[in-house]
């Protein structure tokens, strides 16, 4: 099965040697999206602003792959501070809810300068 690389200027470009997304069969694997604007500037400060920026990047890459967040079947959320979990949930349902929510894992991690990073898998079939 050949894979197709997805790239869009409507989301932050990769900060390393990886693709924004890869289509393999009926699935799209979206790389981690951080709170970075498409022009490369970081969204600083308020956690909610960072979360919106990260989820917007994820949405824009999903659309560049020919899909939408409605087709997401799995999300990974990585938080620097577990205290941001309630605020993340409030932002999350604006993009994925309130019904038909995808499976999700939320993990506290040490992020390099950000408070949140998100990745996802969506099904195009």
Are 36 and 29 contacting, i.e. CB atoms less than 8 angstroms apart?
Answer: no
pLDDT (0 to 100) of residue 88: 98
Name the band, by pLDDT with cuts 50, 70 and 90, for residue 112.
confident
Token pair for 39 = 């022009």
Topology, domain 3-123: 60s Ribosomal Protein L30; Chain: A; (3.30.1330)
pLDDT digits (tens, 9 = 90+) for 44-103: 989 999 999 999 999 999 999 999 999 999 999 999 999 999 999 999 999 998 889 999
pTM: 0.95
12-42: per-residue pLDDT in tens? Answer: 999 899 999 999 999 999 999 999 999 999 9
Concatenating the DSSP letter of every residue in the chain gives --EEEE--TTSPPPSSSS-SEEEETTEEEEEEE-SB-TTSPBP-S-HHHHHHHHHHHHHHHHHHTT--GGGEEEEEEEES-GGGHHHHHHHHHHHH-SSSPPEEEEEE---SS-SEEEEEEEE--
Res. 113: pLDDT tops 90? no
């Amino acid at each position: 099965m050949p894979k197709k690389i997805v790239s869009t200027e409507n989301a932050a470009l990769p900060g390393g040697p990886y693709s924004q997304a890869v289509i393999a069969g009926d699935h799209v694997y979206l790389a981690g999206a951080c709170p970075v604007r498409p022009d490369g500037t970081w969204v600083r400060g308020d956690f909610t602003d960072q979360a919106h920026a990260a989820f917007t990047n994820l949405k824009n890459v999903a659309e560049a792959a020919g899909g939408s967040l409605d087709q997401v079947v799995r999300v990974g959320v990585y938080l620097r501070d577990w205290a941001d979990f309630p605020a993340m949930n409030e932002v999350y349902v604006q993009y994925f809810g309130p019904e038909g929510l995808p499976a999700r894992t939320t993990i506290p991690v040490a992020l390099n300068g950000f408070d949140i990073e998100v990745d996802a898998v969506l099904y195009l079939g």
